[in-house]
Amino acid sequence: MSRPHSGFRAPFLHAAVAALIAAGPAMAQSGDPGRAAPVAAADDSPPAAAVSTAAEPSPFLGEWELDLTRMPDDYGPPPKRVRFTFEDVGSGQWLTRIEITAPDDSVRRVTIRYRRDGQAVPSEGDMAEGETAAFSAPAPNVLVMSIARAGNLAGVRVYTVSADGHEMMESAAGVRSGGAPFVRGFHFRRIR
């Protein structure tokens, strides 16, 4: 877990987030989940994301489970299970539920209702990661979440859904206690 950040560390996170946002859609189209796909030369045709209709449901909606066989090497002991549920609750709002089951079967639950407009909203439930978050969606298959704890940036998450809609990648950016920035990748499978 990352800790609150202040001063000079925040610009590193902002740079990491910018890189993740830029690479997000390319990563989702790549055959190798950890590598970005080559970027095609610019032409007059609109990007595939711009062609989708507003009536098309978001690829995030549904339930996702962490693939524990693909955990980052430097993460430490993994949880027993992690599930995310994304739900469109109308009026431009989403509700996201996160359940993290520890090896001892204790469960941490977080619920957050938000618009994908970059505005901070409070979360409910477990506050270990943060009390507030802001979300934006720079592309239909990309969701960016900035998390704050005690008024400081606690971390940034970039979620990218694969082109086939079966996998979601979470890129979690933070700063280690010694001040070095990191980005860890977590893979989720759609279960509903």
Mean pLDDT (whole number) for 56-60:
94
Q: Which domain holds residue 91?
A: 9-29+57-190
| 120 in any annotated domain | yes
pLDDT at 39: 36
CB 29 within 8 A of CB 191: no
Chain centroid offset of residue 89 CA: 19
* Any domain includes 46: no
The verdict on residue 47 lying in a domain is no
- Closest by CA to 129, choosing from 66, 172, 80, 177, is 172
Phi, psi of 94 (to 5 degrees): -115, 155
CATH value at residue 90: 2.40.128.20
> Model confidence over 1-26: pLDDT tens digits?
444 444 434 433 343 444 344 444 33
DSSP conformational letter for 59: T
Question: Domains in the chain: how many in total?
Answer: 1
Answer whether residue 40 is part of any domain: no
pLDDT of 62-95, one tens digit each? Answer: 999 999 999 999 898 999 999 999 999 999 999 9
Residue 112 forms part of a structural domain: yes
Q: How far apart are CA 11 and CA 156, in angstroms?
A: 12
Q: What is the mean pLDDT of residues 187-191?
A: 98
Q: How far apart are CA 130 and CA 121, in angstroms?
A: 11
Nearest to 33 by CA among 161, 190, 172: 161
In a domain, 4, yes or no: no
- pLDDT surpassing 90 at residue 153: yes
Evaluate whether residue 61 is within a structural domain.
yes
pLDDT digits (tens, 9 = 90+) for 107-135: 999 999 999 999 999 999 999 999 999 99
Instruction: Identify whether 39 is part of a domain.
Output: no
Residue 55 has pLDDT above 80, yes or no: no
CA distance 28 to 8: 31
Q: Rounded to whole angstroms, what are the CA distances from 121 to 7, 27, 70, 153, 178?
A: 23, 28, 31, 14, 29
Q: Are 108 and 100 in contact (CB under 8 A)?
A: yes
pTM for the predicted model, two decimal places: 0.73
User: What is the total residue count of the chain?
Assistant: 192
